[in-house]
Structure 1
Amino acid sequence: MFSVPVQSQKDFSDPNPNPYSRGGNQLAFALKSCRSLPARTHSSVNQQTGNRMSVWFWISVCASLCRVVTAQHGMTGQPREVPVNGTEVVAAARFAVVEFNRDNAEDQFAYKILNITSAKIQVVAGINLILEVRLGRTACKSSDTSDGEACGFNSEHKELWCHFVVTEIPWEDSRVLTQKRCHPHN
């Protein structure tokens, strides 16, 4: 805001709009300046509207591109293939085998990974690692080891095909074997 000094009535009728001149009328100059504002404001509104439309245009283009990229990589929540030798996959498979050996009351021998045949990752309320794993029976007793990785294979060759789902919630530092289905492979 600006302040206008109080001047006599005679000063308001001064035709000299220059506020810097010696007897200039500052209020008249301000009023004359304001008369030209609506035209400038109108054009600036049009310019702002054009700028907004341009921004919205680019936002919609980016959103469309994101949809195309997402469609190429699968839908959100959709399982997608990942390399079977990835660090996370191998760690999840080892975790699943440890849990399997701990809960496997049917067999007195521990199992270890022969190979991981398929791995998928699914982002849900956490991360599901969906694994297809081939296991081999070891010479170590389940009661002696839960890992089985350091053990050699049993002379009675027995293989299992297993489907494991390991759910990880990284922000809670949680990992759980949520599904396990194994059947003999002959």
Structure 2
Amino acid sequence: MMTSGYISLVFLLTFATLILAGPLPPPQDADPNSTDVQDSAAFAVESFNYFSKEENLYKIVKIVKVQQEIVGGAKYTMEVNLGRTRCLKEEDRNIESCPLMADQPKMLQCTFVILTVPWRNERRLLQSSCMPKN
């Protein structure tokens, strides 16, 4: 059975460790070509396509900017340009082999926030917002 003194000591040591560790580092620019960024972007677009009400699938045209924070995993905040493809949702195809619609181009500028926790084999889309790209 733990005494309140023991619990207080554990709390005090935990608090002191957090204070001494200092604040988390600010977000840093990340390499858009890194495997983790590419995998996270693909996951975000797969989620976007799943929840989208459009018939056609979208794919990444360009990763414009990526920032990474370390927060109990890697948190990526990325700006991505998506293009509408000729492939339909009900088709089971590799999205990368889907051609973009040239005759009816519809481009979206999206911001995705993805949390990746590799040691748990976990990836989550925390935020997703898209608007037509001019």
**TM-score (normalised: structure 2):** 0.77
Query: Match for 2:67 among 115, 120, 127?
Result: 120
Question: Does residue 1:136 correspond to 2:83, yes or no?
Answer: yes
Tell me which of the two structures has the higher relative contact order, counting C-alpha pairs closer than 8 angstroms and 6 or more residues apart. Answer: 2
Q: Is 1:98 paired with 2:46?
A: yes
How many residue pairs match? The answer is 113
Distance in 2 of aligned mates of 1:146 and 1:81: 32
Could you tell me whether the CA contact under 8 Å between 1:110 and 1:147 is conserved in 2?
no
What corresponds to 1:180 in structure 2?
A: 128
| TM-score after normalising by structure 1 | 0.56
Q: Which structure has greater strand proportion?
A: 2
Query: Aligned pair 1:163/2:131, yes or no?
Result: no
What is the alpha-carbon root mean square deviation over aligned residues? 2.0
Name structure 2 gaps, 5 residues minimum.
1-22
TM-fit CA distance, 1:125: 2.2
Q: Which has the larger radius of gyration?
A: 1
- The separation in 2 between residues aligned to 1:149 and 1:121, in whole angstroms, is 25
Cα distance between partner residues in 2 of 1:138 and 1:76: 40
What's the CA shift for 1:148?
Answer: 2.2
The percentage of counterpart residues that share the same residue type is 34
Residue 148 of structure 1 is matched in structure 2 by 95
The alpha-carbon distance between structure 1 residues 147 and 122, as it changes in their structure 2 partners (threshold 3 A), is farther
Q: Give, in whole Å, the separation in 1 of the partners of 2:57 and 2:98.
A: 9
Instruction: Indicate the residue corresponding to 2:18 in structure 1.
Output: none
